[in-house]
A and B are shown apart, each in its own frame.
Chain A
Amino acid sequence: MYEHLETAEQTENLKRVVVDPVSRVEGHGKVTLLLDENNKVQQARLHIVEFRGFERFIQGRPYWELPVLVQRLCGICPVSHHLAAAKAIDQLVGIDPENLPVSADKLRRLLHFGQVMQSHALHFFHLSSPDLLFGFESEISKRNIIAVLTDYPDIGLQGVKLRKYGQEVIRMVSGKRIHGTGAIAGGMNKSLTKAERDYLLEDIDQMITWAAGSVALIKKVHCSNLPYYDDFATIRTNYLGLTKPDGALELYHGGIRAKNDKGETILDHFDYCRYNDIIHEEVRSWTYMKFPYLLSLGKEDGWYRVGPLARVNNCDFINTPLAEAARVEFKEHSGEAMVHSTLAFHWTRLIEVLHCAESIKELLHDPDIMGHDLVAQGERRFEGVGVIEAPRGTLFHHYQVDENDIVTKANLIVSTTSNNMAMNESVRQVAAEYLSGRELTEPLLNNLEVAIRAYDPCLSCATHAVGKMPLQLELVDAQGRLIDKLIKHDDGQIERLDG
């Protein structure tokens, strides 16, 4: 599609435009554009410029620390990391998902619905709604949550309270809104008391009403400017995510399903413990974030998108009534088997908020969440894989431990990483179709950020590469001229290019 814009044929005499940092996303990234004398875009890249290294420094730690340690990757979706790690260490104590005590399984699901709900609400209302309500190229003073609260107080407040409710669910189950405990190997460390359950029940109907209202809002925003919304940053891709055995939308546990851009199945109900057989990761020198791809399709064609758009596209139905009705409406609007509009991420994100609210209500009425059979144990193993649908997409945690319970190897494929190629393609699409040839202004550059923001990337979660990471070092003078350039290739060779 727009791959030719990843690297310019020659970079001499090209103007460099940088959006740094990309704002209203989690973590730190920047976009660079190289323009010729006619302002035509010759190169566009999304660079992830922070480095974390969790995969390395959890080595040497005991496995039961993992759910609490790795959740520190992120302050927005810590529960997803907590639960993915917990699912992996369940296997280390011999417990597969089907053998987890019923109460523990339902408590984890409740915790995760709270997580997805609060993360999605945060993203839509706090981070993205300013673009959608005021316009992508609106004045910069408008593009923030404060302006939303001033001009659309009802919408702003509902967003804040939807997020707060999700956080309260997390607090009741795990003890804290952010970075609690809860999941332990083989189960959970507490169930809900009746008082905690009743506290959450008080507001759940209001949350469902507001969530349904937010779906109506995004539908109106999207459909009121349909050709633009369906085209902006849009790319035709494969999609990957978990589904239930019956094909329903699933956030906590299921098999991997991947479909191509026409909606044809690439794989289905695939056991995620064997993810390594189907997914590989590529590294490139100009970013800390890797590029995963489906092995069967190869590096060029095998990249895919994950997250709410992928999940709603991939599933056959949603098992809660209001969210299912919203899904049907959503699919009907495009008339295609798969919806490829990048801005439709927002719509599907809010359908999932509605699904979470409905599911939370269902679970709160289930006595199992107050049960006391919370932990199971089986035969010891030395390798575990936990996969979950985090708010931003499929999240893989894979650990190996030694006979002393110490982690010897870890691999994390974080949701945002899976969307890396797609975000770059969307940036290039916007650069080529909406910016190329125009005099660049700050509001115009916000279009690039709008494209990235649609994916709700968590850049801090997604940068873990360590060791043989290829790197590119540029020395630039005060006028922006490249003085020197060093490239470390993935084989360790270092090459110097003259500026």
Chain B
Amino acid sequence: MNKTITIDGNAIPFEDGQTIMEAATAAGVYIPHLCHHPEYTPHGSCKLCTVRVNGRVCSACTFPAAEGQDVLNNTKDLNDDRKLITQMLFVEGNHFCPSCEKTGNCQLQAVAYYLNMLDDHFPHFYAHREMDASHHEVMIDHNRCIFCTLCVRASQQKDGKDVFAISGRGINKHLIVNAQSGLLKDTDLEASDQAAHICPTGAILIKRTGYTVPIGERIYDHKQIDEVALAEESRPLSKEIDHG
């Protein structure tokens, strides 16, 4: 007999070693997330996937599924908290969706829509963040980095390189690259690397490709992020996942 947990009252099967996120995704249950990616080691930093397991607050992407777990996921309280977290991400960086080339393909924007985020709520930091356009093919716009570390993990775990890292703590946290000069052009990043395509926002971009996908054909033009994520992330792990 299969082992099960319950999520919002529904029995969900799991296998030993699976996280709550993995069990939920396999069963077609969406748990909002930004730093989670099924191909990479869980990081548990964005906190959007926060669920209640037998009353205790946990990150679904890191917490192992186990018999007897009663998980609350799609509740008003949790979604309200997720919305606040998303609002904090928006005000911490400089996210100008109207002119951003990632609009319509951006997971941060899509999750904000999913959570019915209608304003920023918090005062903007208007942080001074730089651009690094030194690389011929790939650009970093630090204004849009949410420190999910997906580029760090993709570079290490998929590309076999070590191009990105997070430096500093708290409000001084920032993305750095592995070069003496601090510039992307002096790293061994190539445009074909998974790390150059993995960013869930518009922080790491392939140059000169913006706006080539017309409105109406972008990833989230007709589908919400839950539908897209479940279709993409419940596939066998070996396949590549690219959110645009």
**Which chain A residues numbered 93 to 118 have a C-beta less than 8 Å away from chain B?**
none
**Is the CB of B180 closer than 8 A to any CB of chain A?**
no
Residue from A60, A176, A179, A184 whose CB has the most chain B CB atoms within 10 Å? A184
Main SS class of interface, A: loop
A405-B133 contact, Cβ under 8 Å, with A64-B101, A64-B210, A65-B210: yes
**Docked complex Cα distance between A182 and B212 (Å):** 8
Size category of the A interface is: 20 to 34
Does A367 touch B at the CB level, under 8 Å? no
**Which residues in A have their C-beta under 8 angstroms from that of B215?**
174-176, 180-181
- Are B208 and A65 closer than 8 Å at their CB atoms? no
Among A68, A182, A184, the residue within 8 A (CB) of B99 is A68
B213 vs chain A, min Cβ distance (A): 7
Query: Which of chain A's residues have a CB closer than 8 A to the CB of B131?
Result: 60-62, 406
Within 8 A of A (CB), among B183-231: 207-208, 210-217
For B139, list chain A residues within 8 Å (CB). Answer: 62, 405
Residues in chain B near residue A405, CB distance under 8 A: 133, 139, 207-208
B51 to chain A, nearest CB (A): 37
Flag whether B134 is at the interface (Cβ < 8 A).
yes
Interface residues of A in 263-311 (CB under 8 A from B): none
Residues from chain B with Cβ under 8 Å of A87 in the complex = none
The verdict on A406 contacting B208 (CB below 8 Å), with A68-B101, A176-B215 known, is no
B160 touches A (CB below 8 Å): no
How many residues in B have their beta carbons less than 8 Å from beta carbons of A?
Answer: 17
Q: Which of B98, B99, B210, B214 contacts A190 (CB 8 A)?
A: B214
* Known A62-B207, A64-B208, A406-B133: A175·B101 in contact at CB below 8 Å: no
For B133, list chain A residues within 8 Å (CB): 62, 404-406
Check if A409 is an interface residue, CB within 8 A of chain B: no
Instruction: Determine how close the nearest CB of chain B comes to the CB of A196; give it in whole angstroms.
Output: 10
Question: Chain A 184-217 against B: per-residue CB contact (8 Å), 1 yes, 0 no?
Answer: 1100011000000000000000000000000000
Q: State which residues 249-269 of A face B: CB under 8 Å.
A: none
Q: Is A164 an interface residue (CB 8 A)?
A: no
Smallest beta-carbon distance B22→chain A, Å: 36
A185 to B209, CA, bound (A): 10
Could you say which residues of chain A place their CB within 8 Å of the CB of B212?
184, 189
Q: A65 with B213: in contact, given A404-B134, A405-B208, A406-B131 (CB under 8 Å)? A: no
Task: Give CA–CA (A72, B97) in the complex, Å.
Answer: 12
Picked from A179, A184, A404, the residue with its CB within 8 Å of the CB of B98 is A179
Which residues of B are found within 8 Å of A406, using beta-carbon distances?
Answer: 131, 133
Q: How far is the CA of A210 from the CA of B238 in the complex (A)?
A: 60
Task: Determine the chain B residues whose CB is within 8 A of the CB of A64 once the complex forms.
Answer: 101, 208, 210-211
Sample of 9 further A-B pairs with CB below 8 A, known A176-B215, A181-B211? A61-B131, A64-B211, A68-B211, A181-B215, A185-B208, A190-B217, A404-B133, A404-B134, A406-B131
Interface residues of A (CB under 8 A from B): 60-62, 64-65, 67-69, 72, 174-176, 179-182, 184-185, 189-190, 404-406
A-B interface, 10 closest residue pairs, ranked by CB to CB distance from nearest = A175-B215, A190-B214, A404-B133, A69-B99, A189-B214, A181-B211, A64-B210, A68-B99, A406-B133, A184-B211
